[in-house]
Structure formats: C-alpha cells, structure tokens
Structure 1
Amino acid sequence: MNYLYLLPCIITSILASKVSQAPLLHDHDPSVSDFTTYQSEVSSSHSIRVKRQNATLCDTPVDQYTGWLDVGAKHLFFWYFKAENAASDNDDEPLALWLTGGPGGSSMLGMLQELGPCLINKHGNGTVYNPFGWNKETALIFVDQPAGVGFSYLDEGEPVPGDSFTSAADMHLFLQVFVSKVFPEHKNGPLVITGESYAGHYLPALGAQIVSQNILYPKQAQVPLKSLAIGNGYVSPLDTAYGYWETLCTTNPGVDKPIFNETICDIMATNLPRCIAVAKTCYDYPDPAICNAAAKVCWDGVIVFYDGESYAGGRNRFDITAPCDLDEFCYPETELVQDYLNLESSFNALGVPKNVRKFEVGSHAVEEAFQLTEDLEITMKPQLEYLLANQIDVLIYQGNLDLACNTAGAKRWTANMPWKGQSAFTSKELKPWKSTKDGKEVVAGTFKEVNVKMMDGDEKTTRFALVTVDGSGHMVPMDQPEISLDMLNRWLAGKSFD
C-alpha cells in the first residue's frame, strides 16, 4: 500500500472509476472578447482575465465573476462573489479567500459543498441559494491552486508545483493584481485568508509570503492581509498523528463510547512514542527521505488502524460518527459537484479553454508532486509564529468529530507553539461558546483566545484563538452551516466568542 496516499488531511486523490467523468472533451474555445484582461505592474508575464457571470451557474443575487490568473506558464482559476451586505463602495471592502486542501483539492468543493453563496442541488444538475454562505459580510473568492488543480492548468512542459511555498508565491502575485487592478475596492482590505485541511500548510505559507513581500517591496501594490482562519488544518503532522489515540480511544470528541477497543488502543499507545520521535526528526531535518520514513512509521504504527479502512462502505476519516459513501471523499455531494462542473453548459459559461479537457475535484499529479518533497510532513508553526510576530491575527477552528485533522492534535500544537502569547494562551482553559441554530441558543463548542501586544510601543493587540464546534467533522461549514457563519462573522467583526 502507498501509505502516503491516505495521510491525514490528504483528501484529494482522484475519484474512484465508478464516478462519472463525462464529458471528457470540450470544443469550446472562448474568444479573447469574452474576458477583460488586467496586466500586473510588477511583471509583464502576470495578468488576470475575468468575465462576469449571471445566476445561471451559481444561484445567488450578488455579482459574480470568474477567470484565470496567468502566471507565466501557470493559469489559476478563480470564482469571485460580492458581499450581500457590502459596507461601501470605497477601497476598504473586506475580502475573504478560500482554499480547499489536499494537496490537489479543488476549491470548488468548498464553494459548492460547504460555504459558497450557492450549493450543489440534490440532483447534481444545478445549484440552490445558500442562506449561510460566507459572503454575507465579506466578498468571497475561491481559487483552484496550485496550478494543475480543478480548472487551473499548466502550459505543456511546465512542471507541476510540488510544495506550499511555490504555491504561495503564485497566490501572492494573484492577490497583488486582484486587489490593486481588478477589484480595487479591496485595495485596503481587510483580507482574511481561510480554508481547511491541507490549507493548514497553504495558508501559513501564503500569509508569510504576503507579509514578507509587503515589507520587502513597500512601493509595490500591497496585499492587505489582516488574519488567517484555518479550519481543521494540517498544520503540524506530528500532532495530528498524536491526536489519533485521543480521538479514537476516548469520548472527548463528543461520542458516547470510544471508537476503538482497548486492544487496538494499547497497540497505538505503544507505537505513538516512536512515531512522534521520528516525526520530530523530520521537523529538525526536513529531508524528503527522512520525512517519508517518518510518515511510514506513523502510518504503520498508528494511522493505518482507522485510515486503512476508510473507503466506500468503510470508515469515514472526516467524521467518526458518519458512514463513508464514496472512496477517498466519503460524501456523495462531491461526485455531484464534479458531474455538474463537467457539463457542457458549465464549461461554456465559464469559458474554459481547450487546455482543460475535464474538471476533476482532485489532482493526482499535484498530490504526487507534493509527495516527492518534504512538504507533506513538515510543520507550519514557524510561519504562524512569524505572522503573529507581525501582528496578523490567527483563528484555528475545529470540528470535533474529525479524525483526519483532529481537535486533539490542534489543542496540542497550539499550546506548544513558542510565541509571545504562549504563556497567556496555555494558562487559559477552553470555555463553552454559544451560538444560534434554528432560532434557538445552543452551546456551539468551546474556545479560548488571547489578545497580545506584539511590538513595544504599539498598542495594537494581535488575536490568537482556538474554537471548537460540536457535532461537526472535517467540513465545519457543511456540518454546522449556521454556527460556522456566526463564527466567521464574529471573527471578522473582532467580537469575542465569550
């Protein structure tokens, strides 16, 4: 077995052969007149082509646009929506960027299955309006990245990106052109970058790239990053593996009894110290050979007992209380999303070029490229420490029923991350937070947060929060849509979860 194929939080292998891929070929070749092109002021090889969409493809009352960022030989697809409650027509309208994980997952999954202004309907032939879409108070953009994912593509002969840092460089250039030229109403932000799963790698790398480039090139267009919001993120693989035992061998996730019996739990507990030790070696010496060996030790000793049975008809890594209906992805809506976006009408409306022969929710090529580097097994805590030091707020939110990127692991790495606010954060206990669901006040989960002055002589505080959501697995906006929107809006407004 290729143990990397089922690593925690890697959800984007191509669908099983039983999933429809039709149509495989599209003859539509959009003319240049379909799009308006915006050229980067930084590089002649970077531009964005954009076209306006109506509500035919995505059922929403707001203005929406699609297009591609051309980064030399790489072409990144995006879908942008205005906010339903836009605050102004100035240059300080808020913007949220969503990235689905993988590596290799299309952000169209997040859009049409979880938090977009519209969701796939039950027949897979259209969409329905989402009353809990995340674009209520902020504009929202979904990007298929890195190049080679979803509707994004590469020119012939261009190598597939294989690490989060290359992806971050491309995404920074995208955002730079996007907010300065295409939609200048977002020029001064605030921008929140958000996503889930392997976005726990993507977002810290992108955030650090944005901050460093803003500092290095103050006269170039600035990307107005305000915060990160990482959902069930693959930030620290070591801690994710550590959390398998607690998630499966206790009732802490919110289950009536542990998922595993004492025999399996004893085996996992025996193997955990070695898993953690070799994973730490990968952190200290991030060589692909060392990191791949660490992944195998953790897979064979800890992860395989559950993930090795995660397939259609088997266990669900993304919700330990739910069935798995589809290989790798488990949720049948994923198949519907792929079928819908492969319709001839969808290709024509989006103006998909001939380079893209079919839409796939997961890119096997990108997944394999990332497997060849150390990216899969390194920690992104240093990037988060850098962001906090530069006064970027960070929200970590967790669905408690998720195993792939479990809450137990998130609690561990957030407590162990060395930064100025570590002592204040670890001294706090998780407390219940309340939200509204179906017109009633409910206990949504737990939280703890700190606001820390990071720079001497600067009264500005930087916010770091851990928020858990009960009754939710890996995809919090899908499992708890009303509560997740409340969580996001509180975060954007700077309101406490208390």
Structure 2
Amino acid sequence: MGLKTIFVLLSILTFSWCSQVPLQSWTEELDTYQVFQSDISPQHSIRIKRQNDTICDAHSVQYTGWLDIGTSHLFFWYFESQHAPKDSPLTLWLTGGPGGSSMLGMMQELGPCLINEHGNGTVFNEYGWNKRSNMIFVDQPAGVGFSYVDEGTPVPDNSFSAASDMGLFLQLFVSQVFPYLLESPFHISGESYGGHYIPALGAQVVRQNALYPSRPRVNLQSVLIGNGLFSFLDSAFGHWSTLCTTLPGVDEPVFNSTRCDILATNLPRCMDLARVCYSHPDPAICQAAGLICWDGVIKYYDSESGKGGRNRFDITAPCDIDDFCYANTALIEEYLNMPHVFEALGVPKKHVKAFNVSSDAIMMAFTLGNDLELSMTPQVQYLLADGIDVLIYQGKLDLACNTQGNIRWSESVPWKGQAEFWAKSFKRWESGGKEVGEFKEVNIQMSEEHKKKTRFAFVTVDKSGHMVPQDQPEVALDLMLRWIEGKSFE
C-alpha cells in the first residue's frame, strides 16, 4: 500500500501471569491473558487470550495477543482452520506499506471476517483463507496498527530488523503456545511491500533453523507474495507496459501516444540511476534515482491519483478516498477504534491511543533506513537455494506493483531454474471451470540434499488489481489452496 508515498519519500527523502499450559487444552474463553515466556530468549514472551465471534464473525476458534520483546510489542490475531486445525498448515499474512496494518488484509480481503458495509461490525467471509489453513495476521514492524514500542524506543527502520523479531516470535508460537503447529507446514503470505518483508523473514527463518539446530524448528515450506514490491527499478519499468499497452487486459491503453512517448524517453535515465542505487545504496544516490523516476515516469499517473481521480491499485476503477482509494479501508479504521473493540482486544491505551491502518513513522523510518531502495533478489535466491517454494501472484490491473515489472524481475532472479523459467511461455489457467489468468512454473531439483523439487511460479489473475483476494475472492482462495497443497496450475 501507499506506493505514491514511497516514491515521494524516495525523492525527498502489566497483564496477569498464568501457568504455561498449551492453549489447545483450554476449553473456555479467557477474560485475562495467559503469558508464555520463551525458553530461548528471556526478552521474548507472548501474552494471548481467546476471543469469541463478537468482534470478528469468524466461525472458528480465534485468539489475539502480543509478542513482547523488551520494549517492543507485536500484535497478532490467530484463527484456527475451519477444517481439522491440528492437521492443517499454518499461514502467516503480512500487509505491506511499509507501515500497513495486517488488519487490512484480514478485514478487507482474506480474513475469516470482513468489515460490513456500515463499518460497525463484521460479516463472515466464505472465501476466508482459513478454510483449510490455520491463519495468523501480524501487525509488524512494531509501531504498525495495534503493535507499539514503549516511549523512547525507536521503531524499526528496515525489513531485516523486523524479520529478526518475527523469527523468534514464530519459534515461540509454534513450540510453546500451539505445539500442535510445530510439525505443520508453514507458509508466509502477503502483498505489496510484503515483497520486501516476506523474503527477509523467510531468509531469517531459514538461517535461524540452520544456525540453531537444537532449537524448535519453524517448518517453512513456501512463500506466496501478491503484487509485491521487490524492486522499485522493475516497478518503474513496468509503468510503460501497464499504461501504454493492452497487456493488463484492457481494451485500450490508459495513456495516449504523447504521454507514452514521454515515458519511453524518460525510462532509460530512471533505469540507469536505479541500477547505480542498487550497486551503491547511498542515500543521496538513491534519493536522486527516486526523484528522476518520479518526475520522469511515475508522476504522470500517480499525481492524478486520489479521491475522484485515478486509482493506482486498479487502472480501470475510480478512487473513492485519498491514498488507499477504497472506502472500506476507512471503515476498518473506524471500526477498530470503537471502544468495545479496544476493550475486547485489551489494547493498552497508554501506548496505543488510536488504531491507524498505516504508520507514517514506519514509512519515514524505512525511507531513512534505505530499505525501500533495496532489491529483494538475494533473499529470494537464498530461499530457492534452500528448497523453499516461491509463488508470485499478480492482479493484472495494478499499477503500483505492476505485473510487467514483476515478470521482468522474476525472470532476472539468478538461480538454477532461471534459464528454464525464462524460456517458458505463459499458459492460461482455470478456476471454477473458467479461464482466470496466466501462469508459468518450474520444478527444479536444487541438489542431492534436497529430495523435493523446488517450485517457482508466477500466476496472474484477470480483472483484478493490487488486492487479488478483494477483487477475485473465490479465485484467490483457489490459488492459495492449490499452492499450499502442492497442486499445479495446469
């Protein structure tokens, strides 16, 4: 979310303690928190309580709580699978930003409950991703949504420091809080700036498992990233193809020939400076690259975005409200600020005076920390080399993290399967008996050590923008289940 803000900034730069009984043994709702102290790190603990369907009409068992890491505190909302939780995988969802709350993904897209049309409650989502997977939504880094830092504590300024805390949280969550998840397949999902968050976290989990073999292992199997920002260079490059051709699935190009000629003229300089930024990630160089790419390419569409104007997340749709463009985003923020929601969640009002769907402080910190300019290619390479499956899925109508830019990026990732992936053509895929998009995938034996072939796939979804589960919920659920259950898109 908030790609306009990204490029503008680039251009200018005490709860009750109880006995530590595994939660699956609880048979009643909790009025107070149970706290689990990490056996590995004395700084890490989880406080957690069970919720009913009052504030989220989930039709499944649910818990909320915080991971406490010294002076930082990460909020999570966990839902058991609607079908055989102990035999289901665990899937984590991370909304992007940087600074976007994962409550957006939960209540606007793929959670068990969605915000209702009045913004005063929720409705059950029949296409929720906890259909056959346990789901956990986390507000991260600390400072986002219901997550917070104690007074005087700086917020994280990069994806890697955020990933470090998340890695220990997952280890504690599956080993001490919900031990039945310890052997379950684990998948990391998300969208937008999740293109940074998820590769960084995946790599952290792999390193953590390798460096500390005697500790509980997080059983990471795959990552699945929707309309991700992996590389601002490639995202900028994709503007021309998205706006000046019919490749997104539109009848006519969005821009006329005059504007397209301007983009084509300005793109080479943008690309050159972005490459220099990647090679030498100095703030001054990267800010200059951001300014050139903004002025020469991105502003021609994005400066016309906003309420009543263009929608950077769907080039065929109007923009209802500023920044996020979707009215239900504002409804989610309004609902989660209601007193009965704060009370049910046990939000510490001293630290979280109001819930915000996005954090300007995190956006600024990540900009100054040079995280936005980084390409996530090395982290994706690392995951593939370790046998972790990678899925990139794309709503074709998105401009912010566009399909053509991400195809370009995915084909440039150097790994054993690169040549085969690059050479493959896209094929149509079906869901519910209808053609719904295109895909290509490869399955590669990475080494003799890895018995299972590693899977790398790129899947597009027609008639969808930045948020595929919102625009095409039934297709998105089918896509997700096929992936985590190891089924092909053929």
Q: TM-score range by the shorter chain?
A: over 0.9
Instruction: Tell me, in whole angstroms, the C-alpha distance in 2 between the residues paired with 1:53 and 1:8.
Output: 40
Deviations 1:426-453 (A, max 9, x none): 11100000001xxxx2111000000000
Residues 270-289 of structure 1: pairs in structure 2 closer than 5 A: 270-289=265-284
Q: Which residue of 2 aligns with 1:447?
A: 439
Q: 1:237, CA displacement in angstroms?
A: 1.2
The residue matched to 1:360 in structure 2 has which SS?
coil
Instruction: Tell me, in whole angstroms, the C-alpha distance in 2 between the residues paired with 1:234 and 1:350.
Output: 31
Q: Which residue of 1 aligns with 2:468?
A: 476
Q: Which residue of 2 aligns with 1:399?
A: 395
> Which residue of 48, 61, 64 corresponds with 2:62?
64
More displaced, 305-314 or 474-483?
305-314
Q: 1:477, CA displacement in angstroms?
A: 0.1
Q: 1:5, CA displacement in angstroms?
A: 2.1
Q: Measured at CA, do residues 8 and 203 of structure 1 come closer, stay the same or move farther in structure 2, by a change above 3 Å?
A: farther
Q: 1:224, CA displacement in angstroms?
A: 1.0
| Relative contact order, higher structure (CA 8 A, sep 6+) | 1
How many residue pairs match? The answer is 472
Q: Which residue of 1 aligns with 2:53?
A: 55
Instruction: Tell me, in whole angstroms, the C-alpha distance in 1 between the residues paired with 2:280 and 2:445.
Output: 32
Instruction: Tell me, in whole angstroms, the C-alpha distance in 2 between the residues paired with 1:344 and 1:390.
Output: 46
Aligned residues with identical type, % of pairs: 61
Residues 31-50 of structure 1: pairs in structure 2 closer than 5 A: 34-50=32-48
Instruction: Tell me, in whole angstroms, the C-alpha distance in 1 between the residues paired with 2:466 and 2:299.
Output: 18
The residue matched to 1:34 in structure 2 has which SS?
coil
The residue matched to 2:188 in structure 1 has which SS?
strand
Q: Does 1:242 align with 2:237?
A: yes
> Which residue of 94, 97, 105 corresponds with 2:92?
97
Q: Which residue of 2 aligns with 1:22?
A: none
Structure 2 length as normaliser, TM-score?
0.94
Instruction: Tell me, in whole angstroms, the C-alpha distance in 2 between the residues paired with 1:363 and 1:190.
Output: 31
Q: 1:364, CA displacement in angstroms?
A: 0.7
Q: Does 1:494 align with 2:486?
A: yes
Instruction: Tell me, in whole angstroms, the C-alpha distance in 1 between the residues paired with 2:329 and 2:244.
Output: 29
Q: Measured at CA, do residues 492 and 273 of structure 1 come closer, stay the same or move farther in structure 2, by a change above 3 Å?
A: same
Instruction: Tell me, in whole angstroms, the C-alpha distance in 2 between the residues paired with 1:483 and 1:383.
Output: 28
Q: Does 1:76 align with 2:74?
A: yes
The answer to whether the Cα contact below 8 Å between 1:99 and 1:143 also exists between their aligned partners in 2 is: yes
Deviations 1:403-428 (A, max 9, x none): 00000011101111110000111111
Q: Measured at CA, do residues 227 and 389 of structure 1 come closer, stay the same or move farther in structure 2, by a change above 3 Å?
A: same
Instruction: Tell me, in whole angstroms, the C-alpha distance in 1 between the residues paired with 2:346 and 2:409.
Output: 43
Q: Which residue of 2 aligns with 1:378?
A: 374
Q: Measured at CA, do residues 412 and 85 of structure 1 come closer, stay the same or move farther in structure 2, by a change above 3 Å?
A: same
Q: Measured at CA, do residues 267 and 240 of structure 1 come closer, stay the same or move farther in structure 2, by a change above 3 Å?
A: same
Structure 1 vs Structure 2 CA RMSD: 1.6
Q: Does 1:429 align with 2:425?
A: yes
Q: Does 1:170 align with 2:159?
A: no
Q: Which residue of 2 aligns with 1:346?
A: 341
> Which residue of 319, 326, 330 corresponds with 1:335?
330
- Please, which runs of 5 or more residues in structure 2 have no aligned partner? 18-30
Q: 1:7, CA displacement in angstroms?
A: 2.6
Instruction: Tell me, in whole angstroms, the C-alpha distance in 2 between the residues paired with 1:356 and 1:152.
Output: 8
Moved over 4 A (4+): 29-33
Residues 152-171 of structure 1: pairs in structure 2 closer than 5 A: 152-171=147-166
Q: Measured at CA, do residues 477 and 373 of structure 1 come closer, stay the same or move farther in structure 2, by a change above 3 Å?
A: same
Q: Which residue of 1 aligns with 2:356?
A: 360
The residue matched to 1:122 in structure 2 has which SS?
coil
> Which residue of 297, 305, 316 corresponds with 1:302?
297
The answer to whether the Cα contact below 8 Å between 1:292 and 1:374 also exists between their aligned partners in 2 is: no
Deviations 1:456-479 (A, max 9, x none): 354320000000000000000000
Q: 1:4, CA displacement in angstroms?
A: 6.8
Instruction: Tell me, in whole angstroms, the C-alpha distance in 1 between the residues paired with 2:258 and 2:449.
Output: 56
Q: 1:104, CA displacement in angstroms?
A: 0.2
> Which residue of 95, 105, 109 corresponds with 1:110?
105
Q: 1:93, CA displacement in angstroms?
A: 3.6
Q: 1:31, CA displacement in angstroms?
A: 5.8
Instruction: Tell me, in whole angstroms, the C-alpha distance in 1 between the residues paired with 2:319 and 2:9.
Output: 15
Deviations 1:320-375 (A, max 9, x none): 00000111000000010000000000000001012110100010111110110211
The answer to whether the Cα contact below 8 Å between 1:9 and 1:197 also exists between their aligned partners in 2 is: no
The answer to whether the Cα contact below 8 Å between 1:30 and 1:351 also exists between their aligned partners in 2 is: no
The answer to whether the Cα contact below 8 Å between 1:9 and 1:234 also exists between their aligned partners in 2 is: no
The residue matched to 2:189 in structure 1 has which SS?
strand
> Which residue of 454, 465, 468 corresponds with 1:462?
454
The answer to whether the Cα contact below 8 Å between 1:93 and 1:185 also exists between their aligned partners in 2 is: no
The residue matched to 2:438 in structure 1 has which SS?
strand
- Please, which runs of 5 or more residues in structure 1 have no aligned partner? 11-28
Q: 1:8, CA displacement in angstroms?
A: 9.3
More displaced, 50-59 or 180-189?
180-189
> Which residue of 409, 416, 431 corresponds with 1:413?
409
Q: Measured at CA, do residues 126 and 4 of structure 1 come closer, stay the same or move farther in structure 2, by a change above 3 Å?
A: closer
The answer to whether the Cα contact below 8 Å between 1:104 and 1:146 also exists between their aligned partners in 2 is: yes
Q: Which residue of 1 aligns with 2:213?
A: 218
Instruction: Tell me, in whole angstroms, the C-alpha distance in 2 between the residues paired with 1:233 and 1:38.
Output: 34
Code of the residue aligned with 1:147 in structure 2: it is A
